[in-house]
């Protein structure tokens, strides 16, 4: 999956001294489950944030926060009206991060084969 993201040019990395500390994927692909969500910003285009991940050895260094800030700047620069994402309901650190950065909880979705739900967030830009 990451290899495909690289080929499409949608994977962005935070690095220091040649070491990748974290990644995020930014594209326009919305899962079909998103059709059930009542979005705050209906007019598009909308950018999706996928696979935000930080190397465990880099936790606590603000890498996730920097990747989210980069994503917001990228989205605004490219003319997107909102940034949308989901995260695993049991990922308490991510839930706290997104809510603390002003993302609105818009609902939740379920994916086949996953036991817990995925809260869905949106941040309207501009």
Per-residue pLDDT for 54 more than 90?
A: yes
Task: Quote the tokens at residue 63.
Answer: 């890498």
Cα separations in angstroms, 109 against 28, 60, 96, 102: 18, 28, 18, 20
Q: What is the mean pLDDT of residues 96-111?
A: 96
- Residue 87 has a CB neighbour count (10 Å cut-off) of 19
Residues contacting residue 30 through CB under 8 Å, at least 6 positions apart:
46, 48, 84
Q: For position 126, what pLDDT does the model report?
A: 82
Q: What is the pTM of this model?
A: 0.93
Strands 82-86 and 46-54, bridge-based pairing:
parallel
Mean pLDDT to the nearest integer, 10-19: 96
Confidence of residue 2 (pLDDT cuts 50, 70, 90): confident
């Amino acid at each position: 999956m990451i290899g495909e993201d690289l080929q499409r040019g949608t994977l962005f990395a935070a690095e220091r001294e040649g070491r990748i500390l974290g990644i995020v994927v930014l594209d326009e692909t919305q899962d079909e489950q998103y059709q059930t969500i009542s979005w705050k910003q209906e007019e598009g285009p909308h950018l999706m944030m996928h696979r935000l991940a930080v190397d465990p050895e880099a936790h606590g260094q603000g890498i996730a926060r920097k990747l989210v800030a980069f994503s917001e700047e990228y989205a605004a620069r490219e003319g997107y009206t909102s940034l949308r994402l989901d995260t695993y309901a049991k990922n308490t650190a991510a839930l706290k991060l997104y809510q603390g950065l002003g993302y609105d909880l818009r609902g939740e979705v379920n994916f086949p084969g996953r036991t817990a739900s995925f809260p869905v967030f949106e941040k309207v830009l501009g």
